[in-house]
Amino acid sequence: MRLRLLIGLLCCLAGAAAPAQAASPPHKAYLSLIIDDLGQNLPRDRRVLALPGPVTAAIMPDTPHASEFAREAHRAGKIVILHMPMDPATGPFAWHPDLPVEELEKRLNAAFKVVPYTAGINNHMGSRMTAQPAAMAWLMADLQRRHKFFVDSRTSAQTVAAAEAQKVSLASVSRDVFLDDERTEEAIFKQLQTAISLAQKQGSVVMIGHPYPQTLAVLERELPKLKAQGIDWIDIKMMISVRGNRATAAHGINGTYHTP
C-alpha cells in the first residue's frame, strides 16, 4: 500500500516538473490596402498618405497631379503603382483590344514616364482588356523585364491577367474586396468587416478602395483598430511574398488561377 502511494506521489511530482507544452502560435491574418484613382485632387489625395499604415498609392497617368503626387507619395514612404487605364477606360494612355503591341508598349512607356517611382501596376477598369490572353501575356513579360509587379484588380470574372502573370512567375497578387462600390459609410464599413473576416478565414486579403470622402472617413476611423482584431496591415510587396504568387480558393484551385 505504501509502495503504491509512493509511486503515485513520484508520478505527480514528475508531471508537475515537466515543462508545459508551448501554445501553438496564433493564426496570422494579413491585410493590404490599395487606393486607386489618385492624382486628381491633391488635398483629397494627401489624406490617403496620412492613413496610419502602408497604403499603396495607385496613380492614374491621365490626371493633372500624377507626377507631383507620385513624388509626394514616394517621399512619404508609400509604395507607388501605376493605375493603368484599360478598356473600357478611355484616354491617351488607355489600352484597347484592337491596338497593336507597338501601340500598347508606347502607351505603357508614356504612362510610366508620367508616374515616377512605380514599383508595379494595377488595371483601371479593364474588364475587356484583362480578358485578352495575348495582350496580358505580353504585359506580364514586359513587367518581368522592368522588374515590376502586377496587381489584378479583377474588374471582371473573365480576367486572365493573374493567370498570365503566374505562368511567367511574375510577382503578382489579386484583389479580394472592393470597399466602396456603394459610396455610403455604412456600406463601406460593412465591406471592411467582410475583408477582415475573409483575412481571418483565408489568412490574407487585398482590399481596393478610392479616395472618396466616405471611404477615407471609414478608413481613418477603423484602420487603427486592426491590430486589436488580430490583423497585420502589411504593404503590397509583403503581401505578394505572403501569398507566393498562389491564387486563393476564390480565384483558383490548388493555388493555380482559373481561366475562363
Give the percent of the chain with pLDDT over 90.
Answer: 89
How confident is residue 16, by pLDDT bands cut at 50, 70 and 90?
A: very low
DSSP run (H or E) holding 38: strand 30-38
CATH superfamily name and code, 28-246: Glycoside hydrolase/deacetylase (3.20.20.370)
Residue 43 has pLDDT above 60, yes or no: yes
DSSP run (H or E) holding 236: helix 236-243
- The span from the CA of 85 to the CA of 129, in Å, is 10
CB-based contacts of 90, cutoff 8 Å, min separation 6: none
Give the percent of the chain with pLDDT over 70.
Answer: 90
Burial of 105 (0-12, 13-18, 19+ CB in 10 A): middle
Average pLDDT over residues 132-155: 98
- The span from the CA of 224 to the CA of 233, in Å, is 10
Average pLDDT over residues 17-41: 74
Predicted TM-score (pTM) of the model is 0.89
> Of the ranges 8-12, 109-113, 153-157, 212-216, which one carries the lowest mean pLDDT score?
8-12
How confident is residue 99, by pLDDT bands cut at 50, 70 and 90?
A: very high
**DSSP labels, 103-128:** HHHHHHHHHHHHSTTEEEEEEEE-TT
pLDDT of residue 241: 97
Mean pLDDT of the chain: 92
How confident is residue 20, by pLDDT bands cut at 50, 70 and 90?
A: very low
Domain range annotation of the chain: 28-246
pLDDT of residue 260: 86
Check the CA dihedral 168-173-176-180 and report its sign: negative
Residue 4 has pLDDT above 60, yes or no: no
